């Protein structure tokens, strides 16, 4: 649970926000504390903001923060605020994030209200939707008992955000001088992913929710699942390498430690493997790419559309996924794998939730295809709106 003294000042903030608190969704490590019994210590509080609702909100957030004693962190440009905690050496620090589709052009920030911005967050809309209300009780600074209804990002959405952050930090997308810091951040994100999945009480339900959250943003879902596969499929994958580094940072360097790290890394891989889609899922996603991306010279676009047109199958039909060309699977498996005769075979190996996501991904790709006038004229039945 959120520790003191931060809990007191979180409650103070929610009391001051009133109904607008519904549009502040807790994310990050503080949200993990509602799902993981033993979680790394952290005192900052991250909030995903409901941008459109807060822009209409008559309550002026900057005035509320100022009244409570918060000031913008100078280098943050109004998306981080902090206040000194009375009679304490610690500070209360809050950071705001928002869905990236609302960000300013050529800027990483999202305007919320005058004097208040948020940092653009990929997957933010999903995390906002995938949240639920949790109770936080304690005392306000004046000693009064208070209970707040706090909206918290659910574990499956937290894993999504952590996977994106892990890939970003591991790739060191910032300046080279930040390389060491980014590596340490990657270690933390990998450890958080393992901790969240370890704490899941019902892995089957978690998997259903994990895949279903991407149905409206299928392209992002496929991207995140590829990160999951690339970073956690094997013990030598990048995510597990930085996870091992995270563990090693707090252990002595000796032979016993090396064996312990090996066992813990193998255990972590088995745990995260529970949410990994099978190879067939990635093969199907690759086949969709090879059948729907003419702009990059994908080899099976016309063959695929011609098959659907001849059979009078619109791309919106469930049969469209089963009709992916067999040739599109030739490079999707490791050498020595069984040759795939049709998409029906790999589809039998994926779950209903994974299949729904693939179907949604195909539809997103098709919407792009419909902008190609030549293809629309050549395959009118298949590409009709």
Strands 71-72 and 116-121: unpaired
Residue 94 domain-assigned (yes or no):
yes
pLDDT of residue 41: 65
Residues 148 and 12 placed together within one structural domain of the fold: yes
Residue 182 domain-assigned (yes or no):
yes
What whole-number percentage of the chain has pLDDT above 70? Answer: 95
Residues 43 and 99 placed together within one structural domain of the fold: yes
Residues 137 and 162 placed together within one structural domain of the fold: no
Strands 45-49 and 91-99: parallel
The mean of the pLDDT values for the chain is 91
For residue 161, pLDDT over 90 is answered with: yes
CA dist 191 and 198 (Å) reads: 10
Residues 109 and 194 placed together within one structural domain of the fold: no
Residue 42 domain-assigned (yes or no):
yes
- Tell me the CB-side half-sphere exposure of residue 93, using CA atoms within 13 A: 12
Residue 385 domain-assigned (yes or no):
no
Lowest-confidence pick of 59-68, 181-190, 290-299, 333-342: 333-342
Q: Is 376 exposed, middle or buried (0-12, 13-18, 19+ CB in 10 A)?
A: middle
pLDDT top residue among 357 and 88 = 357
Among 234, 257, 276, the domain boundary falls at 276
CB 160, CB 190: distance < 8 Å: no
Positive or negative: CA dihedral 203, 209, 215, 220: negative
For residue 42, pLDDT over 80 is answered with: no
Q: Could you report the per-residue pLDDT of 120-152, keeping only the tens digit for each?
A: 999 999 999 999 999 999 999 999 999 999 999
CATH number at residue 60: 3.30.460
Assign 241 a pLDDT band (cuts: 50, 70, 90).
Answer: very high
Q: How far is CA 40 from CA 21, 188, 193, in A?
A: 26, 9, 12
Residues 322 and 232 placed together within one structural domain of the fold: no
Among 96, 126, 153, the domain boundary falls at 153
Residue 383 domain-assigned (yes or no):
no
Residues 71 and 198 placed together within one structural domain of the fold: no
Residue 187 domain-assigned (yes or no):
yes
Residues 147 and 262 placed together within one structural domain of the fold: no
Among 136, 153, 170, the domain boundary falls at 153
Residues 82 and 38 placed together within one structural domain of the fold: yes
Lowest-confidence pick of 46-60, 199-213, 296-310: 296-310
What domain range is 310 assigned to?
280-378
Read off the pLDDT of each residue in 94-105 and give the average, rounded to a whole number.
94
Please state at what angle helix 218-232 crosses helix 352-369, rounded to 10 degrees.
Answer: 120
Residues 256 and 296 placed together within one structural domain of the fold: no
Give the 3-state DSSP-derived string for the chain, with helices as H, strands as E and coil as C: CCCCCHHHHHHHHHHHHHHHHHHEEEEHHHHHCCCCCCCCCCCCEEEEECHHHHHHCCCCHHHHHHHHCCEECHHHCCCEEEEECCCCCCEEEEEEEEEHHHCCCCCCEEEEECCEEEEEECCHHHHHHCEEEEEEEEECCCCCEEEEEEEEECHHHHHHHHHHHHHHHHCCCCCHHHHHHHHHHHHHHHHHHHHHHHCCCCHHHHHHHHHHCCCCCHHHHHHHHHHHHHHHCCCCCHHHHHHHHHHHCCCCCCHHHHHHHHHHHHHHHHHHHCCCCCHHHHHHHHHHHHCCCHHHCCCCHHHHHHHHHHCCCCCCCCHHHHCCCHHHHCCCCCCCCCCCCCCHHHHCCCCHHHHHHHHHHHHHHHHHHCCCHHHHHHCCCCCCC
Residues 114 and 228 placed together within one structural domain of the fold: no
Residues 10 and 148 placed together within one structural domain of the fold: yes
Assign 334 a pLDDT band (cuts: 50, 70, 90).
Answer: low
CA dist 121 and 124 (Å) reads: 5
User: Taking the chain, what is the end-to-end CA distance rounded to the nearest angstrom?
Assistant: 50
Residue 120 domain-assigned (yes or no):
yes
The answer to whether the peptide bond before residue 32 is cis (omega within 30 degrees of 0) is no
* Number of structural domains found in the chain: 3
For residue 90, pLDDT over 90 is answered with: no
Residues 267 and 352 placed together within one structural domain of the fold: no
Residue 95 domain-assigned (yes or no):
yes
């Amino acid at each position: 649970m959120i520790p003191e003294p931060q809990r007191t000042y979180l409650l103070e903030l929610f009391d001051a926000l009133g109904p607008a608190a519904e549009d502040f969704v807790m994310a990050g490590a503080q949200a993990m504390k509602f799902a993981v019994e033993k979680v790394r210590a952290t005192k900052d509080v991250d909030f995903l903001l409901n941008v459109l609702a807060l822009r209409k909100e008559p309550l002026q957030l900057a005035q509320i923060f100022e009244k409570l004693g918060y000031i913008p962190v100078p280098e943050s440009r109004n998306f981080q605020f902090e206040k000194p905690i009375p009679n304490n050496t610690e500070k209360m620090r809050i950071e705001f994030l928002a869905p990236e589709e609302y960000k300013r052009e050529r800027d990483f920030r999202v305007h919320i209200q005058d004097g208040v911005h948020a940092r653009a967050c990929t997957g933010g809309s999903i995390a906002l939707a995938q949240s639920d209300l949790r109770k936080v009780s304690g005392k306000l600074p004046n000693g009064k008992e208070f209970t707040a209804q706090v909206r918290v990002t659910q574990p499956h959405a937290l894993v999504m955000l952590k996977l994106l952050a892990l890939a970003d930090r591991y790739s060191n997308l910032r300046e080279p001088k930040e390389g060491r810091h980014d590596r340490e951040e990657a270690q933390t994100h990998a450890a958080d992913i393992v901790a969240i999945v370890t704490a899941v009480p019902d892995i089957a339900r978690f998997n259903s929710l994990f895949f279903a959250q991407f149905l409206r943003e299928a392209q992002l879902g496929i991207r995140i699942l590829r990160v999951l596969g690339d970073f956690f499929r094997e013990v030598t994958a990048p995510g597990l390498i930085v996870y091992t580094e995270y563990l090693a940072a707090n252990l002595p360097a000796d032979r016993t430690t090396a064996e312990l790290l090996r066992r813990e890394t193998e255990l972590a891989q088995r745990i995260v493997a529970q949410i990994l889609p099978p190879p067939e899922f990635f093969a199907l996603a690759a086949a969709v790419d090879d059948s729907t991306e003419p702009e990059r010279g994908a080899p099976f676009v016309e063959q695929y559309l011609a098959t659907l047109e001849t059979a009078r199958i619109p791309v919106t039909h469930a049969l469209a996924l089963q009709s992916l060309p067999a040739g599109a699977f030739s490079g999707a498996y490791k050498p020595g794998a069984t040759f795939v005769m049709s998409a029906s075979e790999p589809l039998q190996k994926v779950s209903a939730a994974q299949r729904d996501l693939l179907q949604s991904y195909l539809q997103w790709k098709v919407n792009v295809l419909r902008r190609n006038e030549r293809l629309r004229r050549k395959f009118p039945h298949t590409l009709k709106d």
